[in-house]
Structure 1
Amino acid sequence: MRSKLLLFYSVLFLLFSGNLFGQNIVLYEQFFGRYDFTFIGNTLNPEENGFLSPTYILTSSSANLNLNPGDRVERAYLYWAGSGTGDFNIKLNGVDIIPQRSFSTTQASADNHPFFSAFYDITTMVQSIGNATYTVSDFDLNDLVSTYNQNGTNFAGWAILIVYENNALPQNQISIYDGLQNVPDQLEINLTNLYVLDNQDSKVGFIAWEGDRLLPSSSEYYERFTINNRYTLSNTINPPNNQFNGTNSVTGATNLYNMDLDIYLIDPYINIGDTSVNFKLESNQDFIMINTVAIKLNNQLPDATVSIDNYTLKCDIRELPIEYTVYNINSTDPLPAGTQIGIYANGELIATNQTPTVLGIGESVNLSQVVTIPSSIPIDFTLSIIADPDGLVTELIETNNADIEEISLWVLPVFNQPQDLISCNLGSTAAYFDFSSYDQSIKTDTAHLITFHESLTDAEFNQNPILNTFNYYSATTPHQIFVRIENEHGCYSLTSFFLRTRNCAPIIYNAVSVNGDDMNDTFHIEGLYNIFLNFDLYIYNRWGREIWKGNNNTPEWDGYIKDGVGSNQAPDGTYFYILHLNDPDYPKPLNGYLYLNH
């Protein structure tokens, strides 16, 4: 056993650190319906422990499960316990078991001995095997016997708590609590989350460790176990002055040796309407540890729960269609028709409803409605639906009536308004434009999709996008371009900008070669005709005499003198021009020289 324990020392520190003084017994699980519970288990002590005896502890023991016909296993939990910090590698029917949870406590005495218990959910195994002999093995604490039998606290044992269902049973509430608390001198266990409707056939069961079968008869020694601070628990095998005495209430056995599987009827000790039960154990001698408490109450109550099943978001719409289900599943009584339903956004009531019909045990109803989210609620909010929000219906569980959903409303994308784009007039207000960079400048979110369109209809239906945004040709301006900005939800915003032209300064080529080679045969000014429609162009010789005048209705000057005498071809040389664009952007004339060569 020594080598086996050494393997677990590093694990034990994690399992037990911070828990050396025990753990309060608290609610672990509840069941509602036609359920009951029972125990099986056995000690590994060959006899009652005492001073220097026994000198060994068994490593294996067995117990039989004998459920009645019609009983169906709902849950099965294995607990094992003993002296020391724990054996966490045992077998059940040959299957290796390593605990899912563990507990520990320390004896408040000069010895300061530690004790442990462990837990494993064996539901699947018991459901598969059913009624049979269950054997715990490889549970070995013999290395500790010589230490713990000095004060008679060497022990080991195991138990299986079984919750079973049977259609012949009444509607019950089964509550399982566990932890590890001990005496001497006194401990109190408060079981909460209960509701007593009918106390008939109510019972409580305990898995406890290390109680002694015999106590000294002297009046100075006592053991007292009470319920609700005034009633003493006892039965034929558990006397009122020594309840934890190595007995099994299921089988009637009195030789469990330092472990107890005790069940008590508590009908006379609880009242209808109780929501908690108090147990107090007092002992001035016997060291007793309570590990697990199971309580059965006959409860006929509904249990309203709700689930949000679906909701539909639409772009920039605060009307929210929702679908949800109200259940009466974990119940023992029908849920009345007209049970109120509250719908909340960030805790603010925004709509109500009610169950249209009575919901029987296990039944549910699907409901749908459209709720309006107030403008005061941000787009990211918590939607909650609560059945019986005012607590008007008494239920088995009053804390499971709500379901919540984190919702983000879909909104239209926010964008940066694009500026109108201006390009040089190529004539008749035609121009080329580059608005490829607008894709990024319009976005406020890199995930947004930007498309450009010729018409508002195309933008709305996301059709015929403009593909060439780098060198887009517009035959006339101003020309409106429509922009669609779409987010990941398919919500889109629309905007537009205009393509506009301006009359850019013309480019003047000041060399004229009138030789018929189709190169510079005329005085060419690029960006003049069909742009500056009212221009006037004058050409002068070196003496300042005007030799030619033209406008948008005359062809380019070809080197001939207007109204010349004799040969009207101007001679080679330098000439001067004055160009009046007659445009508000160019109030001053352009002038310069040109060279004519034949």
Structure 2
Amino acid sequence: MNASHFIRFIVLFFAIASLHAQDISLFQQFNGRFDYVAIGNTLNIAENGPFGPCTIATTSAADLSLETNQNIVAAYLYWAGSGTGDFEIAVNDIPIIAERTFSDALDANRVFFAAFADITDIVSTLGNSTYTVSDFDLSNVITPYCPTGTNFGGWAISIIYEDDTLPLNQLNVYDGLQSVPTFLSITLDNLNVLDNENAKIGFIAWEGDQSLAVNEQLTINGNVISNPPLNPANNAFNGTNSFTGDTNLYNMDIDVYNIQNNISVGDTSATITLTSGQDFVMINNIITVLNSQLPDATIEVDDYVVNCGENEIELFYTTNNFNSTDVLPANTPIAFYLDGLLIGQSQTTNPINIGESESNTIIVTVPEDSNPNLTIIAIVDDDGTMSGIVTETNEDNNINVVDIELLVIPDIVTLPSLIGCNEGFEISTYNLYDALIDLEYEADNISFYLSLDDLEMATNSILIPSNYSNTSSPETIYVRLESPPCYKVYQFELTIENCPPYVPNGFSPNNDTFNDWFNIQGLYNIFTEHQLKIYNRYGDIVFEGNNEKPWYGKINRGINNHGKTVPVGTYYYVLNLNDPDYRPMVGWVYVNY
């Protein structure tokens, strides 16, 4: 794509500057089997001039006659006159209000107006018919204009139609309001003339006088063009309609010229020059019809997908070839930019026919430090250097801009630790949901993980969070709370503490496999340095044990009965946990058989 190639009009010079004029510029473009005709009529009852009648009609009519294979696609109504404007008129009694207005001036006292309305619906409905413009009343404003012959009013309709028998053309509608008080030059760029047969240019002009023919010429590429006898070379603006042959359109012109001998195959531009040595003429509308077979690539980013915490974006896009007269070739390059940085490239897969599209996807990667709120620019016909390889009907519509918000994961929130009682070997059992008591959540939206990688991938979650045994101490648990469109992350520690042992009241060492030993719960393999001493009721020590030596009711201390089971009775224990957080525990245990 080359930005200098879009169609533009450049006004090069005015000998007498207009006070309020609007430069002629591109209004609408049609690419395909299109052509046009124009009809209209004046409100003047005679040619104006210092001795002409100072009266003006409020209504006039013209006939439209299209062939059956000419299908109306657009109809543009222009009307103009002396004064500041009548912007509410009627066509076949249908009220019309100006959608756009124009103004120009010969001097401070002589101002003129023009107006535009799209009446495609009306003309499509009525078709071939007589079109009558009414309620167009300039009677009260023309009197000051009459002595200088600048009193006028008129209207014209440009009808663009499609005809399957036509070649593929590019039809451009330009409008504005510029006067030609000696010299006006306009350059059309970005032409690609493939065949100049039936090439044409047409005008809607106001206030031209048939009687004034002083250096009044129309040239294209330096060649004078004319349609004699209707439009002589020295009197281009003489109150005629080239389409109908009418010669009584006082002070207005609807002219069309064949320019096939004035523009050549391969031309990429054309220069139109209008001159008038005496007559004040205002150009309101220019239409060109050229056989220019070109594609027109446009692109739209239809949708995108971003994942939480990722800087990759999947873009869904469509490449179009709508406003075109030729196929868009396969492998037309596409580039994607962020802040001027190329972040992705693609290309069309297949040739795209006139009026058709092709959809595709691409994954682009934005820099890690990118602002979460970013703007991506997609450009079709861009080789990655902002340069294109395809000549198009319009080089200024290859860009599509899309605003995207990355899904940034909030900072990890640390929750209070869960403390578990040591069940041995620094292992405990936890209900992980207990760590979330201060959060509002639904169970289906919560999952627990042992690593951030698993959390981000949503894999290997802890299966039974309500009954989880740690694998290390301390151990970090990561929590994923779904919070569309993203999720929140929490973490907490699982820690172990040695909880107070539970000492049973008694046991029965009878080898029945039930309660056969002095099972002090929460002691063994937890308080691994503990010492246990057992005394009989006389204060004699009968047993001394540790983490590897629990008491099964056997005597291993004293001077008698080593290895024998103690008699039934109550015994006194002293349990020294050898833990700075606990004092020795003492109490009674009953041994029974």
TM-score for both structures, normalised by structure 1:
0.70
Letter matched to residue 93 of structure 2: G
Give me the whole-angstrom Cα distance separating, in 2, the residues matched to 1:134 and 1:473. Answer: 87
Query: Post-superposition shift, 1:316?
Result: 5.1
Letter matched to residue 105 of structure 1: D
Query: Post-superposition shift, 1:84?
Result: 0.8
Give me the whole-angstrom Cα distance separating, in 1, the residues matched to 2:145 and 2:238. Answer: 19
Give me the whole-angstrom Cα distance separating, in 2, the residues matched to 1:410 and 1:475. Answer: 32
Aligned to 2:479: 484
Query: Does the aligned pair in 1 maintain the 2:207–2:280 contact within 8 Å?
Result: yes
Aligned to 2:291: 298
Give the secondary structure class of the aligned counterpart of 1:269.
coil
Aligned to 2:334: 342
Q: 1:117 aligns with which of 90, 114, 119?
A: 114
Give me the whole-angstrom Cα distance separating, in 1, the residues matched to 2:151 and 2:104. Answer: 14
| 1:296-334, Cα deviation, whole Å (9 max, x unpaired) | 101223333444445544455566555544444433233
Query: Post-superposition shift, 1:421?
Result: 2.2
Aligned to 1:236: 229
Query: Does the aligned pair in 2 maintain the 1:345–1:377 contact within 8 Å?
Result: no
Give me the whole-angstrom Cα distance separating, in 2, the residues matched to 1:334 and 1:191. Answer: 24
Alignment of 1:199-598 (within 5 A): 199-215=196-212, 221-315=214-308, 322-336=315-329, 338-346=330-338, 347-348=341-342, 350-357=344-351, 359-364=352-357, 366=358, 368=360, 370-373=362-365, 375=367, 378=370, 380-382=374-376, 384-387=378-381, 389=383, 390-410=387-407, 413-418=409-414, 420-421=416-417, 435-436=435-436, 439=439, 482-486=477-481, 489=484, 491-492=486-487, 496-500=491-495, 583=579
Give me the whole-angstrom Cα distance separating, in 1, the residues matched to 2:268 and 2:431. Answer: 82
In structure 2, relative to structure 1, the CA distance for the partners of 1:487 and 1:174 (3 Å cut) is farther
Query: Does the aligned pair in 1 maintain the 2:43–2:56 contact within 8 Å?
Result: yes
In structure 2, relative to structure 1, the CA distance for the partners of 1:377 and 1:473 (3 Å cut) is closer
Give the secondary structure class of the aligned counterpart of 1:144.
coil
In structure 2, relative to structure 1, the CA distance for the partners of 1:498 and 1:261 (3 Å cut) is same
Give me the whole-angstrom Cα distance separating, in 2, the residues matched to 1:465 and 1:141. Answer: 88
Aligned to 1:82: 81
In structure 2, relative to structure 1, the CA distance for the partners of 1:408 and 1:131 (3 Å cut) is same
In structure 2, relative to structure 1, the CA distance for the partners of 1:438 and 1:101 (3 Å cut) is same
Query: Post-superposition shift, 1:93?
Result: 1.2
Give the secondary structure class of the aligned counterpart of 1:112.
coil
Aligned to 1:548: none
Give me the whole-angstrom Cα distance separating, in 1, the residues matched to 2:473 and 2:172. Answer: 79
Query: Does the aligned pair in 2 maintain the 1:420–1:499 contact within 8 Å?
Result: no
| 1:236-267, Cα deviation, whole Å (9 max, x unpaired) | 21122221111111111111111110111112
Give me the whole-angstrom Cα distance separating, in 2, the residues matched to 1:391 and 1:46. Answer: 55
Query: Post-superposition shift, 1:492?
Result: 4.6
In structure 2, relative to structure 1, the CA distance for the partners of 1:475 and 1:278 (3 Å cut) is closer
Letter matched to residue 85 of structure 2: G
1:178 aligns with 2:172: no
In structure 2, relative to structure 1, the CA distance for the partners of 1:59 and 1:391 (3 Å cut) is same
| 1:448-469, Cα deviation, whole Å (9 max, x unpaired) | x876689989985889998x9x
Query: Post-superposition shift, 1:44?
Result: 0.7
Alignment of 1:74-153 (within 5 A): 74-107=73-106, 109=107, 112-153=109-150
| 1:132-164, Cα deviation, whole Å (9 max, x unpaired) | 111111111111122111211111111101110
Letter matched to residue 498 of structure 1: E
In structure 2, relative to structure 1, the CA distance for the partners of 1:362 and 1:286 (3 Å cut) is same
Query: Post-superposition shift, 1:169?
Result: 0.8
Give the secondary structure class of the aligned counterpart of 1:147.
helix
Query: Does the aligned pair in 2 maintain the 1:450–1:486 contact within 8 Å?
Result: yes
Letter matched to residue 336 of structure 2: Y
Give me the whole-angstrom Cα distance separating, in 1, the residues matched to 2:429 and 2:70. Answer: 90
Query: Post-superposition shift, 1:74?
Result: 0.9
Give me the whole-angstrom Cα distance separating, in 2, the residues matched to 1:186 and 1:78. Answer: 27
Give the secondary structure class of the aligned counterpart of 1:180.
strand
Letter matched to residue 170 of structure 2: Q
Give the secondary structure class of the aligned counterpart of 1:287.
coil
Alignment of 1:1-20 (within 5 A): 20=19
Letter matched to residue 66 of structure 2: L
| 1:11-58, Cα deviation, whole Å (9 max, x unpaired) | xxxxxxxx9520000001111110001101110111111226422211
In structure 2, relative to structure 1, the CA distance for the partners of 1:369 and 1:210 (3 Å cut) is closer
In structure 2, relative to structure 1, the CA distance for the partners of 1:473 and 1:251 (3 Å cut) is closer
| Higher deviation after alignment, 234-243 or 293-302 | 234-243
Give the secondary structure class of the aligned counterpart of 2:122.
helix
Give me the whole-angstrom Cα distance separating, in 2, the residues matched to 1:255 and 1:124. Answer: 29
Give me the whole-angstrom Cα distance separating, in 1, the residues matched to 2:576 and 2:364. Answer: 67
Query: Post-superposition shift, 1:414?
Result: 3.4
Give me the whole-angstrom Cα distance separating, in 2, the residues matched to 1:199 and 1:72. Answer: 23
Query: Does the aligned pair in 1 maintain the 2:34–2:160 contact within 8 Å?
Result: yes
In structure 2, relative to structure 1, the CA distance for the partners of 1:267 and 1:406 (3 Å cut) is same
Aligned to 1:64: 63
In structure 2, relative to structure 1, the CA distance for the partners of 1:227 and 1:319 (3 Å cut) is same
Give the secondary structure class of the aligned counterpart of 1:141.
coil
In structure 2, relative to structure 1, the CA distance for the partners of 1:392 and 1:213 (3 Å cut) is same
Give me the whole-angstrom Cα distance separating, in 2, the residues matched to 1:92 and 1:37. Answer: 20
Query: Does the aligned pair in 2 maintain the 1:424–1:431 contact within 8 Å?
Result: yes
Give me the whole-angstrom Cα distance separating, in 2, the residues matched to 1:273 and 1:299. Answer: 10
In structure 2, relative to structure 1, the CA distance for the partners of 1:418 and 1:360 (3 Å cut) is closer
In structure 2, relative to structure 1, the CA distance for the partners of 1:391 and 1:235 (3 Å cut) is farther
Give me the whole-angstrom Cα distance separating, in 1, the residues matched to 2:487 and 2:121. Answer: 53
Alignment of 1:32-43 (within 5 A): 32-43=31-42
Give the secondary structure class of the aligned counterpart of 1:285.
coil
Query: Does the aligned pair in 2 maintain the 1:450–1:483 contact within 8 Å?
Result: no
Give me the whole-angstrom Cα distance separating, in 1, the residues matched to 2:280 and 2:294. Answer: 40
Letter matched to residue 492 of structure 2: F
Give the secondary structure class of the aligned counterpart of 2:198.
strand
Number of aligned residue pairs: 510
CA RMSD of aligned residues (A): 4.9
Letter matched to residue 226 of structure 1: T
Letter matched to residue 346 of structure 2: T
Letter matched to residue 416 of structure 1: I
Query: Does the aligned pair in 1 maintain the 2:381–2:389 contact within 8 Å?
Result: no
Q: 2:164 aligns with which of 159, 163, 167?
A: 167
Give me the whole-angstrom Cα distance separating, in 2, the residues matched to 1:222 and 1:41. Answer: 26
Give me the whole-angstrom Cα distance separating, in 2, the residues matched to 1:400 and 1:201. Answer: 28
In structure 2, relative to structure 1, the CA distance for the partners of 1:409 and 1:424 (3 Å cut) is closer
Give me the whole-angstrom Cα distance separating, in 1, the residues matched to 2:175 and 2:90. Answer: 22
In structure 2, relative to structure 1, the CA distance for the partners of 1:165 and 1:486 (3 Å cut) is farther
| Higher deviation after alignment, 314-323 or 293-302 | 314-323
In structure 2, relative to structure 1, the CA distance for the partners of 1:170 and 1:377 (3 Å cut) is farther
Give me the whole-angstrom Cα distance separating, in 2, the residues matched to 1:498 and 1:44. Answer: 91
